């Protein structure tokens, strides 16, 4: 079975920091930015462990603002 590498692109200006995507991630990839806020004053999500993303799209499914885009790439061994 081929290994899949995922990557999440976050629209930081739309993110309200609801934390739903962080909780839904099975591989602990996402985290709320602890220091920075967007133009609307919210702590936004970022990938703290990008190498662990499997591209499952759980985060994109639960995001109420639709600000996450998930990409998947198949890695040949």
Does some domain include residue 63?
Answer: yes
pLDDT at 4 over 80: yes
Tell me if 77 is assigned to some domain.
no
pLDDT digits (tens, 9 = 90+) for 32-77: 999 999 999 999 999 999 999 999 999 999 999 999 999 999 887 6
Task: Determine the Cα–Cα distance for residues 45 and 68; give it in Å rounded to an integer.
Answer: 9
In a domain, 32, yes or no: yes
pLDDT band at 1 (very low <50, low <70, confident <90, very high): low
Q: Quick one: CA dihedral 38, 31, 33, 52, positive or negative?
A: negative
Mean pLDDT of 18-22: 97
Number of folded domains in the chain?
A: 1
DSSP state for residue 76 in the 8-state scheme: P
User: In terms of residue numbers, what domain contains 48?
Assistant: 3-72
DSSP 8-state symbol, 43 = P
Instruction: Report the distance separating Cα 56 and Cα 30, nearest Å.
Output: 13
Q: How confident is the model at residue 15 (pLDDT cuts 50, 70, 90)?
A: very high
Whether 12 is in a domain gets the answer yes
8 Å CB contact between 19 and 63? no
Answer yes or no: is 13 within a domain: yes
Give me the pLDDT at residue 74, please: 87
Q: Is residue 29 part of a domain?
A: yes
CATH of the domain at 32: 3.30.70.20
Determine if the pTM surpasses 0.95: no
């Amino acid at each position: 079975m081929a290994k899949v590498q995922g990557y999440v692109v976050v629209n930081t200006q739309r993110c309200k920091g609801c934390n739903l995507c962080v909780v839904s991630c099975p591989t602990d990839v996402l985290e709320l930015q602890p220091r920075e806020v967007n133009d609307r004053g919210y702590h936004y999500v970022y990938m703290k462990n990008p190498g662990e993303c499997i591209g499952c799209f759980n985060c994109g499914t639960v995001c109420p603002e639709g600000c996450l885009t998930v990409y998947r790439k198949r890695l040949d061994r």
